[in-house]
Structure 1
Amino acid sequence: MYWPEFLTVVVVHFLAVASPGPDFAVILRQSLCASSRSGVWTAVGIGSGILVHVTYSLLGLGILIAQSTTAFTVLKVLGAAYLLWVGWQCLKAKPSDEESADGLSQDRDVNAATAWKAWRLGFLTNVLNAKATLFFVSLFSVVISPATPVWIQGFYGAWMTVMTGLWFTGLALFLSRGQVRAFFRRISHWIERVTGVALIALAGKLATASQG
């Protein structure tokens, strides 16, 4: 009896995940300009962030955050500040002096983010996105019936967590393929800079997001 509701959750979630946003921007940067390992760990971090959204939505805390002007504003400011910082780091990217066999500079490979840093980047980018908070609050209060058992809602949440991680992992693996990276190897620093501009623009959009 919950199949129609589940299918609605699947479609709505997929459309949200597939749409361009901060998560996509950091995956693009990590996969093309760092390494496949960094891209995958960033994807895992994004999936972990979804689990946080699902948890507070199940506990009813999401509604409190969305309805509290102070809490929502704090989340917006933190999220926008973090995106601005990441964007600024990307803007400072410089062209490499030497290219390695796989199309990226030796220095950039050596300095590629550790698993922890890559995971943290994906996690914080997702968790501090106030728009994601509004999305999950709407999902759990409008799309998912309050009469749906908590364990089934938990299954929906687990599904979204896993699917988000898999989606961005697949995207990271595709973008970090040798042929793709080789194609972009001479403009990798420009990719980082463009990503930085996009993240700063997204930070501005997030900072002006409304609760309505």
Structure 2
Amino acid sequence: MYWAEFLTVALIHLLAVASPGPDFAVVVRESVSHGRRAGTWTALGVGCAISIHVTYSLLGIGLIVSQSIMLFNSLKWLAAAYLFYIGIKALRARPAAAGSDEMAPAPALRTPRGAFVAGFVTNGLNPKATLFFLSLFTVVINPHTPLLVQAGYGVYLACATAAWFCLVALLFSQQRVRAGFARMGHWFDRVMGVVLVGLGIKLAFTELR
């Protein structure tokens, strides 16, 4: 009965999640810099953060945030500050020691918790995600759709997001891909730093509409 609505939600979500943004940049950086395990944990963090957006959308809290400039701006500046923080850290990457290119360096130690938190915070604090899920649950999904069915949509969105970014992590943690990025050494980190800082600036100037 709700298949048409579900397919619409799934299609809109696919288009949104496939669009490069902070989540994509963080997963790629973790995967290239620290390997598949870290990238996968980051992807899972992003997926779990989706459940937060779904929950407050179902409870109507997202509507309050969208209508409050102060709350929206607080969330926006927190997200922008976090992107600035990890971006600046990447920009400060130093060149490898002379002669180290003869042997590929071991990936820097990255705990599952640290990788998970990076993905969770990046997505959880993104006000664009707040507006996306709010519009999804108020415009696309019929308000008369049973709450249990809407919650089912939410479970799908969280799992689909995690699965997508796990695929991204799998791709960018491949040995050939990592080796290619490794040849660029610290320049890769610096480029990703520029991307993250740029996303932070873009986010900081996001206006509530």
TM-score by length of 1: 0.94
**What is the RMSD computed on CA atoms of the aligned residues?**
1.2
Q: Give aligned pairs, total.
A: 207
Quick one: distance in 2 between partners of 1:130 and 1:91? 25
Quick one: distance in 2 between partners of 1:6 and 1:188? 44
Amino acid at match of 2:52: V
Quick one: distance in 1 between partners of 2:96 and 2:157? 38
Q: Secondary structure at the match of 1:80?
A: helix
Quick one: distance in 1 between partners of 2:46 and 2:80? 17
Shift of 1:191: 1.5
Quick one: distance in 1 between partners of 2:101 and 2:11? 42
Shift of 1:100: 7.7
1:76 equivalent in alignment to 2:76: yes
Shift of 1:2: 0.9
Shift of 1:99: 4.5
Partner of 1:51: 51
Percent of aligned pairs with the same amino acid? 49
1:38 equivalent in alignment to 2:35: no
Quick one: distance in 1 between partners of 2:130 and 2:19? 16
Q: Which runs of 5+ in 1 are unaligned?
A: none
Amino acid at match of 1:165: A
Partner of 1:168: 165
Shift of 1:49: 0.7
Partner of 1:28: 28
Amino acid at match of 1:79: A
Quick one: distance in 2 between partners of 1:147 and 1:197? 45
Partner of 2:188: 191
Q: Which runs of 5+ in 2 are unaligned?
A: none
Quick one: distance in 2 between partners of 1:192 and 1:71? 32
1:146 equivalent in alignment to 2:143: yes
